[in-house]
Amino acid sequence: MSTENKFLAIYLGSMTGSKMAAWRALPEAERKAKEQEGMAAWHGWVEKHKAVIVEMGGPLGKTRRIDGSGITEVSNALTGFTVVRAGSQEEAAKLFENHPHFAIFPGEAIEVMPVLPIPQM
């Protein structure tokens, strides 16, 4: 694979999971300090990897599902995304090891998948 391959990283977390419950149980001052530490670490991660970040992405809000029955509000574990460039999926995944999303914040995981080319007609 060339270094021009793009990979979508999806940040996952649960509003009702044990990590979020522990986060919410922190005293407010401690939680605010962890938020500041986490944002500083996240900005550090971005600075370290800025050469391979294609799309910074960001947090995700409420989800609407659209299907043949119409539009409904749904809940899922998707909390944010980033698009990076890497030589392989393994290389892309390694960019997110010990990421602040789960190392400091109460996020649970990050999933990385290739962005595939659109098939030609």
pLDDT at 62 (0 to 100): 93
| Residues 9 and 109 sit within 8 Å (Cβ to Cβ) | no
Query: What's the topology of domain 5-114?
Result: Alpha-Beta Plaits (3.30.70)
**Residue 77 three-state SS:** coil
* Beta bridge partner(s), residue 10: 81, 111
Give the pLDDT of residue 1: 42
Within 13 Å, how many C-alpha atoms sit on residue 89's CB side? 8
Report pLDDT digits (tens) over 3-41. 479 999 999 999 888 999 999 999 999 999 999 999 999
Q: Which pLDDT tens digit goes with each residue over 37-96?
A: 999 999 999 999 999 999 999 999 999 999 999 999 999 999 999 999 999 999 999 999
pLDDT of residue 121: 84
Q: How many whole angstroms separate alpha carbon 4 and alpha carbon 25? A: 43
